[in-house]
Amino acid sequence: MALAKMKDRARRSCCVCGVSDARALVDIVLAAGPRVTLCGSHAVMLERARVSPGSEPELRVALRERRGRADRRRAGDELGCALIGAFSGGRRGADRRRA
């Protein structure tokens, strides 16, 4: 691979979240023609979205985080509560505490 291509790949990052791990990046061509780089998560989100953004700013708006921090830990999330309960240190006995 040419040195210029290697340097270009090293500078690439997801235009939404900034992830720069080359193993997780893909190039996407938007509806209006520009080519952008996305991480795998945002590429999947774009595939599932029912919008066709034409520019990077439109793409960022379409894929932005829609949940606030409070929404992520709300009490109504049964799976989240079960996982927190299963992995919290409070359930371990005194003899099983990590050193």
pLDDT in tens, 50-89: 888 999 999 998 888 765 555 555 555 778 778 888 887 7
Is the confidence at residue 95, as pLDDT, over 60?
no
Q: Which residues contact 34 (CB under 8 A, 6 or more apart)?
A: 54, 55, 56
Helix (H, G, I), strand (E, B) or coil at 31: coil
Q: How confident is the model at residue 91 (pLDDT cuts 50, 70, 90)?
A: low
